[in-house]
Structure 1
C-alpha cells in the first residue's frame, strides 16, 4: 500500500527545527533520550544533522527528527537461535535521522560515512545485485511493510550514527529500525507496533540482504530499555519490557573492545548453532528448547559418539543460560541487583568454559577476550561482573563496574587495549522514536 498518512505535528520546516534547537528548544526531549549531562552534545548533533539535510536536500521542506538506540546483549548468549530466552538492553549510543516525505516513490538516504543510497520503491522484488548492500534492507523492509498492509512511500533522509560498528551493539539492526521508523512516522502515523516493525526488519535482513539473524537486535532497538524476549514461538516471540532505572544502581555498564575482528568468524558462529541443533535432533527435538537438560546428561555417553563432546558442552550452556536469562529479568524486576550480577558472572563463566566462544580454536597467541575477562575479574575483586559480549570469538566484552572502581578499571583496560577501547554506556528507556522539538 502506497500513499501519505503523515502523523500531524511530526513534520516541521527544517528552518524552524534548526531555530527551535538553536534557541534551546527540546530540552526535555533530549534529556529523555540522552540524560541531562549529554543534552548539549546531543543538541549539536541534531543541529549538524539538520545542516546536512538542508545541504543535501535543499528547498522549503518539512521534515522530522528520529532516534534509534543501539543494543547490548545482557543475558542468553547464543540462545536465541535455538528458541531460547534472552535479555537485552537499549543503550544511549544511537542513530539519528532527519527525514522528509518525497514526491516520488524513491528513498534517498545519505548516511554519514557511507555511499549515498537511492532505492526505487515502485518495484519491491528482491534483487540479487543488492545482496549484502544497504539498499536490500530498505527494499526488503518496504516490501514487507507493504505486504502487511502498511503504507510506504518515498523519502529523503540524512543519518548519523554513534552505534559503534563491530562492537556488538547492533549497528545494522539500528539502521534497519531507523528506516522502518521513518516509514512508520511519515506514512503510518506511528501506528506500526514496535515488535511488528522489528519482524519486518528481520525479514529484510534474512530474505533480501541475505544474512541469517534472530530477532533480539531489532526488537531491542525498537522497544528500548531492558527487554526480555522468549523465542519459544520463533514466529511470535513474547516480548516484555523490564522497568528499572539502572543508573540508580551505582553500576556502570562498560563495553571493552579487545581489538579482535569478526571478518573470518562466520564458520565459528555457524558451528555453535549447528552443533546445538545436531544435539537437539539427537534428543528428538528440532531445537534445544524442545529438549531437556536432564536427558542431555542422562544420554551423554551416547551423544559423545553421535555429536561429539563440544556439542554436548555447548548444549549444556544453552540450558543453563536460557534459564539464567529469565532469572536475570526476574531479578531486575525485583530490584535485586546483587542477584542479577551473580547471574551475569555465571553466564560469563559458562560462555568461556562450555560455549567456548571467547577465542577461535586456532588462536594460540591473540586471546584478547579471555585477557580482558581475566583482568576484569582481577580489577573488580568480586564486585560487579563481566562476560563475553555478543557472538564472541573476537571483539568485545561487557563489564558491570561499581562507580568507585570505574576510573581504575578504564585506565587499565585502555592501557591494555588502546585509548579508544572502552565505552561506558547508559541504558536507554526509549526505543525507536520521533524526536519532538516544540
Structure 2
C-alpha cells in the first residue's frame, strides 16, 4: 500500500479544492518478465504489475468541468470541459488525462466532470509504464465515480486508444492491460491477439529485481518504428497477418527468401513467442533452471537478432548473471537501447546481486544504476 502517496494526494486535494476527496484509486506500473516486441506481432507477453503506482484522489462534480492537479509537476493544474471538443494541452502529463476522458466520450458514455489530484512513484523514463498507470487510473476513476459499464479490459483498451490517437504514441496493449487486470503475486500471460489472459503464480520466495541501467534510450522511437516495419515485411513475405502465425520450422524452410536483417528480426519474434509460453509453464512448475535458460536466450535474441540492447545494458546483464548463476533469470526488459534489466530470483540472492552491481557497473559503464526490489501487485483498484 502506497500510504505516503495516498496521504499526499488527499492532503493536496483538500488544500486545493477546500473539501475532502470522496474516492482514492491507484493503478500500478509494470515490468515485462519475457516476451519483448511480441505484442504488436499478435504474440504473447508475460508481465507483472509492480509495487510502484499512480494514485488519484477524486470527487465527482455536478457540471462537466474537470479540474486536475499533478503533485509531481509542482502542483501544475489543468482544467477542461467534457464535451466533443477536448483538445491537446500544452502540458504533456495533462494529455494522458484528456485523452482518456475524450475516448470515454467517443464510446458514447455520458458522465460529469470531476476534481482530481494525481501523484505517482513509478520511475519515469525507465520503461516501467508510468504513462499506462496514469491512463488506467483515470479510466477507473471515471468508471467508478459515474458507474460506467466498463470492464477492466475496456478500461485498458480505452487507455491504449488514448495513447495511440490522442497522445500520439503507437504502443501495444500490454502495458494498459497488466495495469488494469493484474492479480497479486501473479504474472499475467497475455495473448495480444485475443486479449485472453492467464494468471501465473510467482512462487513465494521469488522476487522481481529491476535495475535501471540509466542509459538514456536515445534511438527508441525511430528504431521501434523500423523494427515494427521489418516485422510487417516478414509477415507479408510469409503471407500471414502477423509473425505469431509462423512456426519455427516454416521459418527455417523459407528463411533463404528473406533478406538477412529481416530474417533475424523474424527469428527473434518467432522464438520469443515460444519462449514466453515456455517461461509461463516454467513459472507454474517452479522450475527456475528452465526459466533462467529461457530469459538468457531471450536476452541473447534481443542482442543478436533484434539488435535492441546497448553495451551498458549487456554489461549489467553480464554482472547480474554472474552473481546469480543458474539460481535466477536475467534479461533486458522494455523497448530497448537502454532502460532496465529484470531478474526473477530467490529473495536471499538479492543482496549478493545488488552488491555485484554496485561494485562493478559504474566501472564498466560510467553510469550509476538505480535498483528497485519489487513484488507482484494487484491491478487498478479503489482504495
Taking structure 2 as the reference length, what is the TM-score of the superposition?
Answer: 0.91
Partner of 1:228: 189
SS at match of 2:22: strand
Pair 1:410-2:354 in alignment:
yes
Partner of 1:56: 16
Q: CA deviation at 1:349?
A: 2.3
More divergent stretch after superposition (78-87 vs 404-413):
404-413
Map Cα deviations across residues 225-270 of structure 1 (whole Å, 9 max, x no partner).
321111234xxx222333x254x1x322111111211244311121
Map Cα deviations across residues 374-430 of structure 1 (whole Å, 9 max, x no partner).
1112111222011011111111111123333321211221342466611111111x2
> Structure 1 residues 404 and 325, CA, compared in 2 at 3 Å: closer, same or farther?
same
Pair 1:384-2:325 in alignment:
no
Map Cα deviations across residues 112-171 of structure 1 (whole Å, 9 max, x no partner).
2226342423323463x4488333332332232233343432111111211001111100
1:193-342 pair list within 5 angstroms:
193-225=151-183, 226-233=187-194, 237-242=195-200, 244-246=201-203, 248=204, 250-304=205-259, 309-342=260-293
Partner of 1:120: 80
What is the aligned length?
A: 374
**Aligned equivalents of 1:326, 1:259: Cα separation in 2:** 30
**Aligned equivalents of 2:202, 2:267: Cα separation in 1:** 33
Partner of 2:6: 46
Q: CA deviation at 1:326?
A: 1.8
**Aligned equivalents of 1:297, 1:270: Cα separation in 2:** 25
> Structure 1 residues 131 and 51, CA, compared in 2 at 3 Å: closer, same or farther?
closer
Partner of 1:431: 379
> Structure 1 residues 83 and 125, CA, compared in 2 at 3 Å: closer, same or farther?
farther
Partner of 1:26: none
**Aligned equivalents of 2:235, 2:202: Cα separation in 1:** 38
Partner of 2:33: 74
Partner of 1:347: 298
Map Cα deviations across residues 274-310 of structure 1 (whole Å, 9 max, x no partner).
1111111122223212333323221222212xxxx22
Q: What is the Cα-based RMSD across aligned positions, in Å?
A: 2.1
SS at match of 2:46: strand
Taking structure 1 as the reference length, what is the TM-score of the superposition?
Answer: 0.80
Larger radius of gyration, structure 1 or 2? 1
8 Å Cα contact 2:50/2:374 also seen in 1: yes
> Structure 1 residues 217 and 336, CA, compared in 2 at 3 Å: closer, same or farther?
same
> Structure 1 residues 420 and 258, CA, compared in 2 at 3 Å: closer, same or farther?
closer
> Structure 1 residues 117 and 227, CA, compared in 2 at 3 Å: closer, same or farther?
farther
8 Å Cα contact 1:413/1:421 also seen in 2: no
> Structure 1 residues 132 and 282, CA, compared in 2 at 3 Å: closer, same or farther?
farther
**Aligned equivalents of 1:381, 1:339: Cα separation in 2:** 13
Partner of 1:137: 96
> Structure 1 residues 125 and 240, CA, compared in 2 at 3 Å: closer, same or farther?
farther
Unaligned runs of 5+ in 1: 1-33, 35-41, 360-366
**Aligned equivalents of 1:286, 1:125: Cα separation in 2:** 35
**Aligned equivalents of 2:110, 2:282: Cα separation in 1:** 41
More divergent stretch after superposition (45-54 vs 409-418):
409-418
Q: CA deviation at 1:335?
A: 3.9
8 Å Cα contact 1:124/1:140 also seen in 2: no
2:70 to 98, 111, 117: 111
> Structure 1 residues 119 and 374, CA, compared in 2 at 3 Å: closer, same or farther?
same
8 Å Cα contact 2:211/2:369 also seen in 1: no
8 Å Cα contact 2:174/2:192 also seen in 1: no
**Aligned equivalents of 1:326, 1:70: Cα separation in 2:** 22
Partner of 2:51: 92
Unaligned runs of 5+ in 2: none
